[in-house]
Each structure stands twice: as C-alpha cells, then as structure tokens.
Structure 1
Amino acid sequence: MDRIEWHDLPAATRAAVERLTGPVEMAETAPHGVMSRLACTVHTRVGRAFVKGTRQEDSQAWVYRHEAQVTRCAPLAPRVLWEVDAGGWLLYGYEYVDGRHPDLTPGSADLAPLVRTLTVMSETPWPEANLKKPLHTRWADFLPEGVPPGLQAEDSPTRTCPRTTCW
C-alpha cells in the first residue's frame, strides 16, 4: 500500500486534527506496517499521538472504524483519543506507546510478557457485534493468493463470546 506523509494530507484534514491536538510540530511516518495509507506519530506541545487512517472511499475504511471500536474495550491496548472525518480522510488518533517489535527468538526475555499479553487478550469477552462477520470473511481481503482453502472455508467455526457492556 502506498503510504502518504502527514504534510501531504489535505489541509482540511490536518486542520481538523490540529483542532483536537494543537499544532503539529513534527510528524514521523511509521517505518513498518502494510495496512494504513497514513501511519505516523505526530508531535505537539502536549505530547505525541499515533495517527492512522485512510481515504473515506477506501473499501477497507470499515477496518479502521472497527479497530477503534474494539480497541475501546481491549485490555492492554493504546487508548483511542479521537476520530477525524474530514477532507476525504478518516483518521484515528491513539495514545502513543514507545516500544519496539518483540524479540521472538528462543530464550528471549520478550517471550514471557508476550504470552501473558496474548493470554489476557484471549480471555477477554468480546461484544457480539464483532462476531457478525466471521473471522475468515473479515480478513479474506488481506490473505495472499493461494491460501489453503480450509483457511477461507465458509463453514469455518466461529467463536462465541458473551455479551459485554463496553459498547
């Protein structure tokens, strides 16, 4: 996916963000990731925020809305700070978390905290709204060509989760 730089966003989009954050003094494009048309860290007088999003007409715009909705209930996730829908763009600002990719090599000190995090996430009851579209359907557009048919089968089991009140 072609990534856009902060300063290349429409002026109306940047202005809408800055009404919430104050003037953006500097923006750093995220060096990794393949999903977001825009992914950057903005620096303002009051701190940093991670910003991601895409054009409103992008067929994957629903993913950003869904992610922000789920993140509001997810334990251990950066908080959603704001949403901007302006200038033809849909952007979300997230709490900035200074970090790095975990070291997954055998014996790494990162493995135990990663397992704890995945355990907490797997034990979290998710709202039924997230189950309306089965996982294999939600992610089908992201799978590469030639994925084994069993991973995309319409009869794949879906997980049933209890209702929560976080919506």
Structure 2
Amino acid sequence: MRSDWAALPEPVEAAVAERVGGIIGVYPAPSGDHAEIASTVIGSTDTVFVKAASSGPGVRSLRYELAVTKAIGRYPPTVLWDFESDGWLVVGAEHLDGPHPDLSPGSPDLDTLAVTLTGLQETAAPDVRLFTPAGRISFAHPAMDGDSLVHSDLNPANLILTTDGLRIVDWAYATKAAPWVELALLTQWLIGNGHTPAQAEDWLSQFPAWAGTDPEVLDDFAARNASKWANKSRQNTERWVRDLACWTYEWAGYRA
C-alpha cells in the first residue's frame, strides 16, 4: 500500500536530505504500489528516485529488488545509495527522465523495445535469489525452466525511453526462467495496447526464443494464464485486473 512522503520519520527524511543537498521537492510516482514510498526527490545537488518500506512484506520485497538491481547492470536505474533507519529501508536510485514507450501497432517505439528485448533475452540470470516461474506466475511447466533473466512485467509503465536507450524499472518480480516466458508475458501488454493476438504473435515471432517454443507449450501457457486472471477478476474488481483478464482471455481464445 502506497504511503505519503510525510509517513517517513524525521531522521529518515533528514538522511535523504543530506544525500541530495537538501530537499527542494518531492513528487510521488503516478503508478505502482510495490513500495510504501516511491517518489522523485529533487535536491539542490541531485535528483533521485526514492523507494522506502517499513512493513515486513514491503521491506522483503524492496530488499529483494535492491539485490537484483545491483546485480544486473545495464537495464535498471543505477542504485546510488541505500540505508536503514528507524525501521525503514530506503533506496535512492538514478532518476530516469523520459516518456513511456508507445506499444501500439506500427509504433517506432516497438523497434526500440525489440533491441532491448534482444539484449535481455541473452542476459543470464545473476547469481542472486530470484523467483522461479511457479513462484512468480502461480503455475509451472517444465519448458518454463531456464537460466535467463526475466523481468516478468514489461508493461509500458515499467519502460522509460531515455537518451541512453530503453530502460526498465521495478524489478521486484525478477525471475530465472526460459527466455520465451518474458515474451509470453509481454503478449498481454501488446494486446492491451491495441494489437490483435495475431499481430502480437507476429511481432514476437522475430525472437528465436518465441519461434523455437513448442506451440503446445504456448497453448498451455495462454490457457492457464487466462484462467489465473479470470479467477483474480472474480475476487478483485480493480480496472487493471479486469483488463488483464480480458487481454489474456483474448490470447487464449485465439490460440484455442
């Protein structure tokens, strides 16, 4: 659950202020809820993106993301500093300035995404604790097992176009799996951004990991993923849950 910046104890806020040369402004992230605090902090000497957590689950998730982000390198924002104080874990990361990509059919941003995906598909999972496919997706298949780094949530809000290329944020669910799993999870976001299932699969076919995956494995993944989100939508009426249930249903129906 997202909290206001004012929830931070005074010593914690002071420690952040010291690291940025005094706080001039704080701007909460417009989306996401993986950390209790997630804000852009503008200081007199630096601008950083700050995540902080104090609850047990929140601290565990942020500690996990911190370890993963430090281990990966080029795709996530660089971790600038982290500290613990007054029961809070606080992480300051590079502030990435840029828009989210347009993933609609025909968008030039899709070419940029393809370049990033090609590199990510070839990136071995770092030697830190990562989710398994079953732990992340809630179902498993032997074909999901692998040694690649899978972000597992490449929705446009987690992608930022910068002068250094496309960067990826929010690694709270980084997974060690076969590379095709990333592409299968991306399908729902392509559909959600205007692709038909056929268009989404046609775009994904440029990646060897997709082209080399047994169609029956993709059938199984699409059906089970759609079933998972259908169940979630019966328990949670939030818009984003209903959307994912709809998009995954479209893909599963197409493959059936």
Name 2:63's counterpart in structure 1: 65
Tell which structure's C-alpha radius of gyration is larger. 2
Distance 2:100 2:48 in 1: 18
Residue 154 of structure 1: how far off its partner (Å) = 8.4
Which residue matches 1:159?
A: 146
| Alpha-carbon spacing, 1:8–1:62, altered in 2? closer, same or farther (3 Å) | closer
What is the distance in 2 between the residues matched to 1:156 and 1:88?
41
CA distance in structure 1 between the aligned counterparts of 2:101 and 2:45, rounded to whole angstroms: 28
What is the SS of the residue equivalent to 1:85?
strand
How far apart, in 1, do the equivalents of 2:143 and 2:84 lie? Answer: 35
1:8-23 matched pairs, under 5 angstroms: 8-23=7-22
Rounded Cα–Cα distance in structure 2 between residues aligned with 1:33 and 1:58: 18
% same residue: 35
Is the contact made by 1:81 and 1:94 (CA closer than 8 Å) also made in structure 2?
Answer: yes
For residue 9 of structure 1, what is the amino acid of its counterpart? L
Alignment of 1:118-129 (within 5 A): 118-129=117-128
Residue type of the alignment partner of 1:91: V
Distance in 2, matches of 1:93 and 1:135, equals 29
1:128-167 equivalences in 2 (<5 Å): 128-131=127-130, 133-137=131-135, 139=136, 151-153=138-140, 157-160=144-147
C-alpha change, 1:8 and 1:109, in structure 2 (3 Å) is same
Structure-2 separation of matches of 1:86 and 1:17 = 11
One-letter amino acid of the counterpart of residue 119, structure 1: T
Distance 2:13 2:141 in 1: 41
Report the Cα distance in structure 2 between the residues aligned to 1:154 and 1:16, rounded to whole angstroms. Answer: 46
Q: What SS is found at the alignment partner of 2:22?
A: coil
Q: Is the 8 A contact 1:75 1:121 kept in 2?
A: no
Contact 1:21–1:44 (Cα < 8 Å) also in 2: yes
Structure 1 residue 136: deviation in Å?
2.5
C-alpha contact 2:36 2:51 (8 A) present in aligned 1: yes
Q: What RMSD in Å do the two structures reach over aligned CA positions?
A: 2.3
Match of 2:115 in 1: 116
In 2: Cα distance, 1:27 partner to 1:94 partner: 14
| TM-score, scaled relative to structure 2 | 0.52
How many pairs does the alignment contain? 148
Q: Helix, strand or coil: the match of 1:124?
A: coil
CA distance 1:157–1:108, change in 2 (3 Å): closer
For residues 118 and 95 of structure 1, do their structure 2 counterparts lie closer, same or farther at Cα, with a shift above 3 Å needed?
same
Equivalent residue of 1:17, what SS? helix
Structure 1: gaps (5+ residues) = 141-150, 162-167
Looking at secondary structure, tell me which structure has more helix per residue: 2
Is 1:136–1:156's contact at 8 Å kept on the other side of the alignment? no
Answer whether contact 2:133 2:140 (CA < 8 A) is retained.
Answer: no
Query: What is the TM-score with the length of structure 1 in the denominator?
Result: 0.77
Aligned mates of 2:103, 2:140 — CA distance in 1: 30
